[in-house]
Chains A and B, each alone.
Chain A
Amino acid sequence: MFYREAGDFKTSYVDDSQTFPIKFDRYRYYVVLAVAFGIIPFIINDYWANALLLPFLIYAIAAIGLNILVGYCGQVSLGTGGFMAVGAYACYKLMTAFPDVSMFIHVILAGGITAIVGVLFGLPSLRIKGFYLAVATLAAQFFLVWLFNRVPWFYNYSASGQINAPERDVFGIIITGPNAPAWATYMFCLIFLTFCAVVARNLTRGTTGRKWMAIRDMDIAAEIIGVNPLKAKLTAFAVSSFFVGVSGALFFAVYLGAVEVGEAFGIQKSFLVLFMVIIGGLGSIFGSFAGAAFLVLLPVVLKVVGVDVLGWPTDIVAHLQLVIVGGLIILFLILEPHGLAQLWRVAKEKLRLWPFPH
């Protein structure tokens, strides 16, 4: 009954172009923010942080990044895992080289370095499109993983070939390493996610976003009305890679703590993030959240239901998860190519007329 736009008059263009034009949406957003920042940090424990919240926050950043590239700019990328690895290794090198610098700066710089690498691998996008570009980014994925495996400088010549996050703090609060408290790691990731989501939303609702979408929908027409395709595509690669790099840095430094590149950032990671974007909804910031939440929650729910409640063997449940994700991808592609975000949009449109649909 609250979900109405009637009576909520917009008297300026600023009001009309805000992120949540409907009052109820706006208040819901404030409530979510208040809970995320004001309540969860006080009740969080290690299990919730590591099993659900941290992976959700970090994958949501990666999904927003990939969504900018695939959903908004229409450039298919299978190199997400590789770019996350760039973020992770950049962060590692920075953390070990400059131990006194704040983690905030390390993570942002890691994102910046990934953005540069992303632009380099985005250059072919000017000449090739669609499947061919996907294959080119796939090359980036394999090349980057190979690079971090084979060049010992990247893992500081450690015997195992792994990278381990040393203990670092922000304003005296330990963020990385085994002694980091759950609430601190959670808050650290949450701040980055909020920042990334707001920036992504601001970019996609303004000129930059319209350029990206114009390129996505019809690149020839976009060029004829004055979009420089090279610039538009490369900014998409840069912004997308920045977010993906930030998520890679957080994934390594805050969440895992120790990383072996082929395992943590292999091709499967690229697909996982791509699935999040497809299931969540291409071209929607909310969709990136929904997709990340869905694919992080699914294994946990399956494990609780399958192993703990029904008593099935663990391996069966693990395989079942692959089957379900695969099936869902196909279902979404056929039934709702715009993903969970579109389902949510349809639900909202229905809700607007409820209880008197005409």
Chain B
Amino acid sequence: MLDNSEGYVTEDGRKIGGVVMEMKNITLRFGGVVAIKDISFDIREGEIRAIIGPNGAGKSSMLNVISGFYVPQEGEVWFHGSKRPPMRPFEVAQQGIARTFQNIALFEGMSVLDNVMTGRLAYMKTNILQQALWKGKAEAEETENREAVEKIIDFLEIQHIRKTPVSRLPYGLKKRVELARALAAEPKLLLLDEPMAGMNVEEKEDMSRFILDVNDEFGTTIALIEHDMGVVMDLSDRVVVMDYGKKIGDGTPDEVRNNQEVIDAYLGVSHD
């Protein structure tokens, strides 16, 4: 349905742009296990794209392919109109793809501020000698990036824990700090791996609000994996459904909800 390359307009009137990232016939194998089998889909500028599926469907593997952590055996990854050669994860990050993790991957020994500052690495251009001197370029750069980081900190309402070591924070706040770190990079594409795992209803509502706000205010393109169907259906513009490494559905939440294959995968099929 969405083959028009100019984008489309969502139900709530947001304009979605052209294709930012396109996965073409991705196949990923670990030895004999096929984690992802011939999957293609695209992510468009400014949209919230969800990847759902039962446990073991290959969703996280897919996200790891996008962030360069796994290199697929077959298929191509296209980012901003050009084919991406195989690259290390840090190079992918420098291209403008940021992510969060299913089980928080913050730097526990550092303060919240330092953690979020690490998200700005791509903007840090001074060399080690300038940093050793500190006065001058390094200090100016630090201040400049600190300003950008403080905006994110304000935005996610974590001002009060700015200087607290991350190891002292509760789970929900850690998730928010991780989102802050990813946002600090001002990514072109933000990947969220189960941003609401292990949260209570209130925290989920907060997080959903933040995700929508990020998309709304910064226009960030977001791809997310989530298990809470209510959240997915409410947040996302388009949904990819995976099962056993295969794509079984792709479309708006309503289309996916009524797709027979998807219903079968989630509810099971009778074998009579």
Q: Verify B128–A210 contact, CB threshold 8 A.
A: no
By beta carbon, the residue of chain B nearest A12 is B143
- How far, in angstroms, from A27 to B146 measured CA to CA in the complex? 26
B94 contacts partner chain A, Cβ-Cβ < 8 Å: yes
Which one of B93, B107, B114 has the greatest number of beta carbons of chain A within 10 Å? B107
A14 within 8 A of B: yes
In the complex, 28 of the A-B residue pairs with CB atoms within 8 angstroms, ordered by the A residue number, are: A12-B143, A13-B143, A13-B150, A14-B139, A17-B143, A202-B138, A206-B131, A206-B134, A206-B142, A207-B131, A207-B142, A208-B131, A210-B117, A213-B109, A213-B114, A217-B107, A218-B106, A218-B107, A220-B105, A221-B107, A222-B107, A223-B89, A223-B90, A224-B93, A225-B98, A225-B121, A239-B128, A283-B109
- Contact residues of A between 184 and 220, Cβ < 8 Å to B: 199, 202-203, 205-208, 210-211, 213-214, 216-218, 220
Interface 1/0 per residue, B113-154 and A, CB below 8 Å: 010011101101010100111100011011100110010000
Closest to A210 in B: B118
Report yes or no: A229 in contact with B90, Cβ–Cβ below 8 A.
yes
In the complex the two chains form, is A13's CB within 8 Å of B146's CB? yes
Closest Cβ of chain A: how far from B223's Cβ, in Å?
15
Are B109 and A223 closer than 8 Å at their CB atoms? no
Residues of chain B within 8 A of A14, CB atoms compared: 139, 143
Chain B residues whose C-beta falls within 8 Å of the C-beta of A224 in the assembled complex:
67, 69, 89-90, 92-93, 99, 105
A227 contacts B by Cβ under 8 Å: yes
Given A13-B142, A217-B109, 9 more A-B residue pairs with CB atoms under 8 Å apart are A14-B139, A202-B132, A202-B138, A203-B131, A216-B109, A224-B89, A225-B182, A226-B93, A226-B185
Q: A202-B131, A206-B142, A210-B114 are in contact. Are A227 and B90 (CB under 8 A)?
A: yes
Chain A residue with the shortest CB-CB distance to B139: A14
Q: A228 contacts the other chain (Cβ, under 8 Å)?
A: yes
A: number of interface residues (CB 8 Å): 31
Kindly state the interface size class of chain B when it binds its partner. Answer: 35 or more
Does B34 reach chain A (CB closer than 8 Å)?
no
Contact residues of B with A, CB < 8 Å? 67, 69, 88-90, 92-94, 98-99, 101, 105-110, 114, 117-119, 121-122, 124, 126, 128, 131-134, 138-139, 141-143, 146-147, 150, 181-182, 185
Give the residues in chain A near B110, CB-CB below 8 Å. Answer: 210, 213-214, 217
